[in-house]
Amino acid sequence: MKEVRTRFAPSPTGYLHVGGARTALFNYLYARAQKGKFILRIEDTDQVRSTEESYKQVIDSLKWLGYEWNEGPEVGGPHGPYKQSERLDLYKNYATQLISEKKAYPCFCTADELDRKKKQREAMGLPYVYDGKCRNLSEAEVAEKKAAGHEHTVRFRTPAKEVVVEDIVQGTVRFDTALIGDFIIVKSDGFASYNYAVVVDDHLMDITHVIRGVGHLSNTPRQIMIYQAFGWSEPKWAHVSEIVGSDHKKLSKRHGATPITAFRDLGYTARAFNNYMALLGWSSPDGREYMPIAEQKALFDIARCSKSPAMFDVFDLAKAAEVDLAQVPIAELETYLFTKSKLNWLSNQHIRATEDNEFIREILPFVRNTKVVPDAECNENNERLREILLSLRVYLDTLGQIKKYLADFYLPFEPRSADYVSSEYFQAENFSSLAKTFLRLIEQMADSSGGDTLVPDKIKEAINQVGKELGVKGKPLFMGLRLASTGRLEGLELPIYLALLGKQRVTERLSRMIALKETAVPQG
């Protein structure tokens, strides 16, 4: 059986975004599932838009996502070079062969001329198809125009026929070549067009499966005709579903072009993001959603991909209607995220499952960025910081969310007036009694060394004791004590939170809230 060889072939004309990243992931997973090879090829023949910066960003993104390519840039391989700009002689030689076999021809039509004809067709409500003006030029006419210095392209001589695409995902799709016409395979600058270069490259690199977005399906008949013109065997085709936004519309350039590295910088792990992208148009045999990538590599089958659009439900597009998300700074991008998305749920699951030391290593850069923890304490061996971080991780959907919690443990206590001034728990007549009783019980606690340590179980006992002494239970008890000891109405599980704060901080906060209550102006 022939070895499976897939490829990802990005153009370095911008950032790698979710559409391209999912294509890369599906090719990577299928190659691994089939014990085959995954190839990276850079399609940089667009000399106007291709940049070195974009190339580096694509490579950086793929490395963060963890897709190890068997052949390609930085790795090499027997089918190189792996940048199209370094393969121009190959395209030129094969184009010369097609011309000599009368399967392609030079075209001297100017861009202005073609644009005028296209507008005329559009004005009549007709699709534009090249009219074949240069199709039957004689060799003498071609030589004369070249001698006169006329620029020219090379067009493929499209036969009149029906092209059938047998697609693993989309099924059988038929195309009438009368609606395609003779298309350009070599541009006037000498660079190969996409539909031509990709065929030459895929053939010479022995690609067995072309897995890409359904938007490329319309390119496939052109590519099949080029395979047939050379007498080459075509690969298996698999065009996966398009990706739509939370508004069920195709992702726009503004809303779909967020760089993959932005999700890294927000604090999503590659493990979580890969898991999320794998579910954009594919489902596991048993329907599970949370999967480490090792399981994805074992289970992925392109035949299980759906034709139905896959929803990228990460951004609230109604809120971002007038915003170009690709241009939004990371600090502001978070405000456009749905808090209850599948990505966040998966991210939380992966954070919980991360081995402790790895989790600490991954989150420390985000801790440092908060500028809250003193530099001397911001290291893997700081036991108090480790304890705080490991206790907090179950509440994190992203590593970046740590900034919401650390201030409570390291900065002076500043209760938020919005949380307590109008709160029914703060306004309750028994608030001071609850706080004072809890303060007394906390002050009576002491660890074996007489230090600052509080134990969660002892705190639970103290909460229950307050309830017994004052005849309070349920929400009035728990919310009243939460507000009294933290100044807030939400947060971590209270016994764990107070134990992490330590006895000194808890007693200081209780005293502060008691003073605020006794000096507060009655509401109403």
Of the residues 146, 253, 319, 404, only one is catalytic, namely 253
Tokens representing 281 are 């148009």
Q: Under a CB-based contact definition with an 8 Å cutoff, are residues 71 and 77 in contact?
A: yes
Question: How many C-beta atoms lie closer than 10 Å to residue 138's C-beta?
Answer: 8
Q: Under a CB-based contact definition with an 8 Å cutoff, are residues 258 and 326 in contact?
A: yes
Could you give the CA distance from residue 283 to residue 305 in angstroms, rounded to a whole number?
A: 7
Residue 107, strand partner residues = 153
Q: Under a CB-based contact definition with an 8 Å cutoff, are residues 350 and 272 in contact?
A: yes
Tokens representing 83 are 């940048």
Classify residue 56 as exposed, middle or buried by CB count within 10 Å of its CB (0-12, 13-18, 19+).
exposed
Q: Where are the beta strands (DSSP E) in 194-251?
A: 209-213, 236-240, 243-244
Classify residue 496 as exposed, middle or buried by CB count within 10 Å of its CB (0-12, 13-18, 19+).
middle
Radius of gyration of the chain (CA): 32
| Known active-site residue 83 | no
Q: Is 326 left (phi over 0), alpha (psi -120 to 50) or beta?
A: alpha
State the SS3 of 473-493: CHHHHHHHHHHHHHCCCCCCC
- Rounded to 10 deg, the angle between the 220-230 and 194-204 helix axes is 50
Could you give the residue numbers annotated as active site? Answer: 253
